[in-house]
Chains A and B, each alone.
Chain A
């Protein structure tokens, strides 16, 4: 008896193992995976057909939207007319189901997902076709590339240059392909400036008035002089050298890569020289953005004179706003202790662009979503008021600059919109290339070793940079 129990157990185990093996095998193999997904897809198709059997819809029943966080979902939920929310990542517009798919940005996961889906989008099942996807400036050029052709030209979607005329030029430059076609549109204009600690400005510069502070930082030589004054008074100019990197790198005279050759622009080299001098003089640190060292200056009374950032940094990242129901977090922001001015050079930070995926089966709806969310002035004003986005509309920003609606509590009641609007006009993003993100990251981390003195010389740091770039982009040369 005992023996037979053992044998049953034995065969059972063997069977279980064989089963798992078969299951694994079929998941690994191509034929297996398609056979497992097909039933689900066809049942979905059947149910949606049943649901909409009464109408003659020539377009798809499902609007698939690829996103990396819930920002766009909440903008659509709050501001797109006729959108009804079903749950956190889905809703309905009329009788079309809207499905948002969130893939986090980290470790390239979002881009990898797009890379898998977009090239085969035309062949995908109707309900799985990607209709809209979002991109960030750092890798925008990869997806608006004319040869890759994964994002539709806005002119083909049905959005004309006239529709986009109220947008800032730089937001279009970033998403323009080599033939001059615009392939994406944004509701944000993240022009940025210099955010300074008012108390420190008063103590060292004698005034916290934005116009007066701007005089002390209006170009890089004045900025460096002020940094020395700050150090003498016991304050850091910026928390880390990386704070100013975007300001320099947005104002280059040539892109990182031209004809597969990487060059370090004069303005980037200037960032290295200025920063090295400041780090050596202990006027700034070498920590990473978003690190503990960087954030240390957010705490009241503050040891850091200034940060560089756009409206969203002021509103969401520097601490609770005065009177916020989250209470006093001991931040400078809670005391309304920051001021805002333009800084040495115009630049921008962040922003989300909306693309129409090539191969979409909902072209009409896609057009309407993009047009409404990124060009409708009423919607944009609502977004600015409710979500504090610096919206991509010259006339709306002008409105806000002239009214108390635009006053910001974190900035002690200052209205930053006139400065933001002026900054957005000045941003020049014609010198972007698809390799920007990788080059910027590799350059900053290589230069960190030069600033801290771990790398013997600038040349050694440049070699480390070239090595890192070569690993990321094997086709580039120096």
Chain B
């Protein structure tokens, strides 16, 4: 390297040394840009293009592609399904996210508090992360079996005399959504804890010590020092979880076996998308994907704007 750089310096063919080094920056960017273009940009443009066509198979017959303009979008919006599945998705996400963030904050605060001197931290960090390592579909199968009418949960409840007849968890909207939320909570609180913990450990201990010397109690330290300084990580967790929530698929899909019962109350947007792929309906699926993209973008923008507004103001000053 030393040799080549001297060679470059020795033969300056126009332009300063800085711009010549910049070229290397672009060269190193090529792999990413190329991968991004091939696997993200092209499919994205292709999806938008496809959404304007009628294009599906009927048995072995291919129908289309025929250009239909915005018909796919009109069909999606007029059928009234879209708001319903969006609501399902958000309800299940919120139900899972609230306990998840509360428990994670609490655990992260405990783990990061040096005065508690918790023993076996590593062990517990590993244990709470474990549910995330199970395949979501396997986890959903487990819950499906546990909460079936003849499953262990029902027989336990009956044995304890709480209910006299098996409760059909998966025949009721509330309990089905609740189970999905519970699973998402169990799977993701460990991951969130680790993220928040790293954020908390990044806060300088000087600040905590100064606060303690000033006589602040634990609650005050948490709300006045930890939380404000944790904001960037918090925003990150919120946005990734929101996007993950909008893409919720495997858990409800397996738990409800396609989401048609009860009354499609646990059908998420991606499960709806999946329904269109039965007939390889690229037009309809494309339109739905485009809508999803827009919704995700808007939601992420709002969340970012809301939580980052203070910092933006500060910077402007």
Contact = CB atoms under 8 A, between A and B. Distances in A.
B2 A3 contact: yes
Nearest to B62: A119
A448 B58 contact: no
A454 B59 CA distance: 33
Interface residues of A, number: 48
Contacts of A21: 31, 34-35, 38
A55 interface: no
B314 interface: no
A448 B261 contact: yes
A2 to B, nearest CB: 10
Contacts, number: 100
Interface string B139-162: 000000100111100000000000
Contacts of B99: none
A286 B279 contact: no
A329 interface: no
Interface in A73-102: none
Interface residues of B, number: 40
B261 A28 contact: no
Contacts of B148: 287, 291-293
A452 B260 contact: no
B60 A454 contact: no
Interface in B258-288: 258, 260-264, 275-276, 278-279, 281, 284
Contact of B172 (A119, A288, A454, A467): A454
Given A285-B149, A287-B149, A454-B172, A472 B279 contact: yes
B262 A454 contact: yes
Given A287-B149, A452-B168, A452-B171, A150 B60 contact: yes
A21 B275 CA distance: 32
Interface in B21-37: 28, 30-31, 34-35
Contact of B60 (A145, A286, A293): A145
Contacts of B118: none
Contact of B59 (A145, A287, A288): A145
Contacts of A4: 1-2
Interface string A279-312: 0000001111001110010000000000000000
A145 B60 CA distance: 9
Nearest to A465: B260
B31 A474 contact: no
A455 interface: yes
A442 B257 CA distance: 12
B138 to A, nearest CB: 16
A198 interface: no
Contacts of A449: 261-263
Given A3-B1, A14-B31, A475 B262 contact: no
A472 B275 contact: yes
Nearest to A142: B59
Given A14-B28, A17-B31, A445-B260, A119 B60 contact: yes
28 contacts: A6-B1, A14-B31, A18-B30, A21-B31, A24-B38, A24-B39, A28-B38, A115-B57, A118-B60, A147-B61, A148-B60, A286-B168, A287-B149, A291-B148, A292-B145, A292-B151, A296-B150, A445-B261, A448-B171, A452-B171, A452-B262, A464-B260, A464-B263, A467-B79, A468-B275, A473-B58, A473-B279, A474-B56
Interface of A: 3-4, 6-7, 14, 17-18, 21, 24-25, 28, 108, 115, 118-119, 141-143, 145, 147-148, 150, 285-288, 291-293, 296, 434, 438, 442, 445-446, 448-449, 452, 454-455, 464, 467-468, 471-475
Given A25-B38, A474-B56, 16 more contacts: A3-B2, A4-B1, A14-B28, A17-B31, A18-B31, A28-B38, A115-B57, A118-B60, A119-B60, A286-B168, A293-B149, A434-B59, A448-B171, A473-B279, A474-B58, A475-B58
